[in-house]
A and B are shown apart, each in its own frame.
Chain A
Amino acid sequence: MNASRKNVRSALVLFTFVAGMVGLSFASVPLYRIFCQVTGLGGTPGVQSSAPGKASEIDFHVRFDANTNPALPWRFKPVQREVTLKLGEERLAFYEATNLSDKPITGTATFNVTPLKAGQFFVKIDCFCFTEQTLQPGETVDMPVSFYVDPAIYEEENTRDVKTITLSYTFYPKQDDAKVSEVRKPSATGEKG
């Protein structure tokens, strides 16, 4: 192979490295989401189909937090501020949302838990956040979430001190509906989610 053909072949091999890294960079989008779901890092709750059942007598507290993006004209709040449950026990809680505007609006919610290290031990069985919610003008809806706290939280040294987990949701207008020019700056306290 003459010198310049060898050079071109080497260059093409190197181009594949470049293409590969660009591909990895875009692949990072789903990979990052899956990584957080699998590891619970960032306070990402887990999802399972059923609870293991009560596993200890220790009282555990779960608090509920609700936020809305300023572009979403909904009142969104938890029906109960806090529940007390046993580790492993399945519990149902409710949030309530009211569409305060005169147009039907679809909302989507993001969520996480604090402390962040408790993410992998807070497991949702069913959640309103798994589907979009469309509220008619003036409509109020009860939104259920069923969950349990994995008893393994007490076995890990890192999380043994956790006695309270706060579940937080932030509702946003579904992006197709939002008019970007109407979005005001979020408040200084910011939002969780």
Chain B
Amino acid sequence: MANAADAHHDDHAHDDHYPSFFSRWFCSTNHKDIGTVYLYLSMFAAIVGGGMSWYIRLELMEPGIQYIEDFQFYNVLLTAHGFLMVFFVVMPAMIGGFGNWFVPLMIGAPDMAFPRMNNISLWLTFAGLGMLLISAFVGAGVGTGWTVYPPLASSIYHPSAAVDFGILSLHLAGAASILGAINFIVTIFNMRAPGMTMHKMPLFVWSILVTAFLLLLALPVLAGALTMLLTDRNFGTHFFDPAGGGDPILWQHLFWFFGHPEVYIIILPAFGIISQIVSTFSKKPVFGYLGMAYAMAAIGVVGFVVWAHHMYAVGLDVDTRAYFTAATMVIAVPTGVKIFSWLATMWGGSIDFKTPMLYAFGFIFLFVVGGVTGVTLANSSADLVFHDTYFVVAHFHYVMAIAAIFAMFGAWYYWIGKMSGKQYSEAWGKVQFWLFFVGVNLLFFPQHFAGLAGMPRRIPDYPDAYAGWNYISSVGALITALGTLMFFVILFRTYASGAKAEQNPWGEGATTLEWHVPSPAPFHTFEDQPDMSGKAPAE
């Protein structure tokens, strides 16, 4: 290791000497640059996945078939939409993007524990995205839904290699996330600045830590299940084939054992982001720091023992369904602790309604809306009516497409000055928020009613009785598309002509370490770790 004088000299040298373009962007070992590329990957996938959903909503706008006559293609669209949004939009943005950018900064570390492995994760994610996109052009594509249930996903009903490409895509993305999880856990455990105990870490860092453990434990189960499906399809095994002594329900158990923690992987970083934003714009530390941190841990732990609430209709024993109903409802408790803690944070604070705070308010309100329909669905008896209807679609889009996306937008507005050195236009940011808010609510709220009235999901056409709600929902999709377009216009204008961002544009409420470095953050930061002993928790 270089001595202090050399390190000081190296600081200057590194600050204004970047690697060449190819080295810098394709062989990066810099957490900020890798985070930036993840964010661009996410935006690209969001346009593709969003485009698919707008096409679906265009078809569903009116009863009858207007645009999509090939129903396998319709199924391919909705499958790809799901995979893209979950694996290539939300996860890369929140974990790969904001996680990579701000976890090292917030704990005062110079970079991640394994910078090269960080880059491997990035390019494995790209490869996974590539495989998914290729799968749409192989044979008839993957028309199984993101849940990939056999026998539909087996070689009888999907004989081409498309599903195999899909399996490969998930293996690659899964490997990327597992390696990334290891990277985050080791960084957070081993590389915090001296004096920054675990109980002084910002809540965003806690959220990434819990998320990383979920990734570590859940993704390997998906990997195992995918491998079994791959060998069933290609190498003569019968894991999920009754003819050979197997059971398709085993796939469902394995998939949802991964799939339920996966949705907490989606939302936990959002919880962390919201804590940072609410605290900053209330000029108050988050209420009940320990409660917030351990509520996230509790959600993570309990999230592993509730998977069969996705399987209430397969023929489970009544006592089994009773257990999963109760266990699922239990998760509402730590989640409620968080909601009330955010409200308590705002209470008595000096609220500044900047765009990130608008998104945080929107998150808290709309996550509760989505969460309560989740409690409804948790009831196994009622779920027999709701299962595979648009009520389920409305529920998960509220918590994922609305709440999680709001957290991502909020994070972008909150941190773009730090990342790029340019600040967005506050007036236009607010307009974009309201346009997007109206759009997504018009889009998804009517879907509750369609589902309660019995409209099934994953269908390209429906009986006339559902026409009204579908029309409104499609109008909402159009407004959402406009809101998304507006976001990209704001993004381009910020890069092209945004005002110079201050080191801390948000004032005294922004207490975490990233606001102690210049905007844009230098290529290398905290090469000498700051001494955090004696400081209050940087929440």
A116–B317 touching, CB < 8 Å: yes
Given the known inter-chain contacts A108-B245, A175-B243, A193-B242, please indicate yes or no for A10 contacting B186, CB distance below 8 A: yes
Q: How far is the CA of A42 from the CA of B308 in the complex (A)?
A: 14
Check if B292 is an interface residue, CB within 8 A of chain A.
no
A18-26, A48-56, A89-97, A160-168: which one contacts chain B? Answer: A18-26
B57-65, B215-223, B294-302, B507-515: which one contacts chain A? Answer: B215-223
Check if A84 is an interface residue, CB within 8 A of chain B.
no
Minimum distance in angstroms from B41 CB to a CB of chain A:
24
Given the known inter-chain contacts A14-B216, A21-B217, please indicate yes or no for A3 contacting B254, CB distance below 8 A: no
CB interface residues, B 222-268, toward A, < 8 Å: 223-225, 228, 236, 238-239, 242-245, 247, 249-250, 253-254
Check if B348 is an interface residue, CB within 8 A of chain A.
no
B216–A17 touching, CB < 8 Å: yes
User: What are the residues of chain B within 8 A of A191 when measuring CB–CB?
Assistant: 242
B216–A28 touching, CB < 8 Å: no
B315–A18 touching, CB < 8 Å: no
User: What are the residues of chain A within 8 A of B185 when measuring CB–CB?
Assistant: 10, 14
CB-based nearest B residue for A24: B221
Size bracket, chain A contacts: 35 or more
A69–B250 touching, CB < 8 Å: no
CB-based nearest B residue for A21: B220
Minimum distance in angstroms from A182 CB to a CB of chain B:
12
Check if A80 is an interface residue, CB within 8 A of chain B.
no
A32–B253 touching, CB < 8 Å: yes
Check if B20 is an interface residue, CB within 8 A of chain A.
no
Given the known inter-chain contacts A18-B220, A175-B236, please indicate yes or no for A116 contacting B315, CB distance below 8 A: yes
A28–B244 touching, CB < 8 Å: no
Check if A187 is an interface residue, CB within 8 A of chain B.
no
User: What are the residues of chain B within 8 A of A14 when measuring CB–CB?
Assistant: 181-182, 185-186, 216
B317–A41 touching, CB < 8 Å: yes
B318–A158 touching, CB < 8 Å: yes
User: What are the residues of chain B within 8 A of A10 when measuring CB–CB?
Assistant: 113, 185-186, 189-190
Minimum distance in angstroms from A134 CB to a CB of chain B:
17
A25–B220 touching, CB < 8 Å: yes
Given the known inter-chain contacts A172-B242, A175-B243, please indicate yes or no for A6 contacting B190, CB distance below 8 A: yes
CB-based nearest B residue for A43: B315
User: What are the residues of chain A within 8 A of B114 when measuring CB–CB?
Assistant: 7, 11
A172–B243 touching, CB < 8 Å: yes
Q: How far is the CA of A26 from the CA of B189 in the complex (A)?
A: 30
User: What are the residues of chain B within 8 A of A41 when measuring CB–CB?
Assistant: 316-317, 320
B182–A15 touching, CB < 8 Å: yes
User: What are the residues of chain A within 8 A of B315 when measuring CB–CB?
Assistant: 42, 116
User: What are the residues of chain B within 8 A of A170 when measuring CB–CB?
Assistant: 242
Minimum distance in angstroms from B430 CB to a CB of chain A:
43
User: What are the residues of chain A within 8 A of B225 when measuring CB–CB?
Assistant: 25
A7–B190 touching, CB < 8 Å: yes
Q: How far is the CA of A41 from the CA of B216 in the complex (A)?
A: 30
User: What are the residues of chain B within 8 A of A29 when measuring CB–CB?
Assistant: 228, 239, 250
Q: How far is the CA of A183 from the CA of B114 in the complex (A)?
A: 51
Check if A77 is an interface residue, CB within 8 A of chain B.
no
B243–A3 touching, CB < 8 Å: no
Q: How far is the CA of A117 from the CA of B249 in the complex (A)?
A: 17
CB-based nearest B residue for A28: B254
Check if A101 is an interface residue, CB within 8 A of chain B.
no
A175–B238 touching, CB < 8 Å: yes
CB-based nearest B residue for A12: B182
B250–A32 touching, CB < 8 Å: yes
Check if B5 is an interface residue, CB within 8 A of chain A.
no
Q: How far is the CA of A183 from the CA of B241 in the complex (A)?
A: 13
CB interface residues, B 71-119, toward A, < 8 Å: 113-114
A183–B113 touching, CB < 8 Å: no
Minimum distance in angstroms from A174 CB to a CB of chain B:
9
CB-based nearest B residue for A26: B224
User: What are the residues of chain A within 8 A of B156 when measuring CB–CB?
Assistant: 180, 183, 185
CB interface residues, B 298-332, toward A, < 8 Å: 315-320
B245–A110 touching, CB < 8 Å: yes
Check if B274 is an interface residue, CB within 8 A of chain A.
no
User: What are the residues of chain B within 8 A of A116 when measuring CB–CB?
Assistant: 315, 317
Check if B120 is an interface residue, CB within 8 A of chain A.
no
Minimum distance in angstroms from A107 CB to a CB of chain B:
10
Check if B191 is an interface residue, CB within 8 A of chain A.
yes
A18–B178 touching, CB < 8 Å: yes
Given the known inter-chain contacts A69-B243, A175-B238, A175-B244, please indicate yes or no for A18 contacting B216, CB distance below 8 A: yes
User: What are the residues of chain B within 8 A of A69 when measuring CB–CB?
Assistant: 243
Q: How far is the CA of A57 from the CA of B320 in the complex (A)?
A: 32
Minimum distance in angstroms from B110 CB to a CB of chain A:
11
Additional 8 contacts, C-beta under 8 A, given A10-B185, A29-B239, A32-B250:
A14-B182, A17-B216, A19-B220, A21-B216, A22-B220, A28-B253, A158-B319, A178-B243
A-B pairs, 10 with minimum CB distance: A25-B224, A21-B220, A172-B243, A22-B220, A25-B221, A7-B113, A10-B186, A14-B182, A18-B220, A175-B244
